[in-house]
């Protein structure tokens, strides 16, 4: 789903949150399956920070520090109207209270926590408002994973730390 669709279309927002709500429990309980090489490099002092595209928080769970999340995190929800931020766990609790009978049958969860659902269970799904601005802004609550960090900002971040990338995963333009 594009940001533009999310902002423009109430049905798209309901679909986004229903699918995300259904997949969140798996993402929230994700654990690493094997030793985490990047976290080990950090603990050994061989790297001073991690820049990641991951949105699941597993670098932090594994023990890596100074993590810059290029695409934000699924663990935070931000109101696009007033910029208030709450934890995803709190937001998920509010969604569960607003949708006590929502029981989507999930077979596969994508890495971003999204799941495929038929349209039928989405019709009755209720999205909750921001608790700060409460201006009917249920349509405006979004996981911070929507935020992108452009490459020039990453370079400036590294320069401000007096560092240069150890590994490069993106190609220069």
Catalytic residue numbers? 71
Structure tokens at 45: 């002092």
Q: Under a CB-based contact definition with an 8 Å cutoff, are residues 124 and 49 in contact?
A: no
Phi, psi (degrees; rounded to nearest 5) at 14: -60, -45
Q: Is the sign of the CA dihedral 129, 133, 135, 141 positive or negative?
A: negative
- List, in sequence order, the alpha helices (H) in 29-150: 37-43, 58-62, 88-98
Q: How far from 102 is each of 17, 81, 160, CA to CA, in Å?
A: 12, 27, 47
Query: Measured between alpha carbons, how far is 57 from 92 in angstroms, rounded to an integer?
Result: 17
């Amino acid at each position: 789903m594009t940001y533009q669709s999310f902002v423009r279309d109430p049905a798209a927002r309901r679909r986004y949150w229903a699918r995300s709500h259904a997949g969140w429990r798996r993402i929230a309980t994700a654990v690493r399956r094997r030793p985490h090489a990047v976290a080990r490099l950090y603990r050994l002092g061989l790297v001073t920070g991690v820049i990641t595209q991951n949105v699941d928080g597993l670098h932090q769970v594994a023990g890596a520090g100074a993590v810059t999340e290029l695409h934000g995190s699924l663990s935070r929800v931000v109101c696009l109207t007033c910029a208030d931020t709450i934890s995803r766990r709190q937001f998920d609790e509010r969604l569960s209270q607003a949708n006590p009978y929502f029981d989507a049958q999930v077979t596969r969860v994508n890495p971003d926590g999204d799941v495929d659902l038929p349209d039928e269970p989405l019709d009755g799904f209720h999205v909750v408002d921001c608790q700060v601005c409460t201006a009917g802004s249920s349509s405006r609550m979004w996981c911070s994973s929507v935020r992108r960090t452009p490459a020039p900002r990453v370079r400036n971040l590294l320069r401000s730390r007096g560092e240069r990338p150890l590994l490069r995963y993106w190609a220069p333009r």
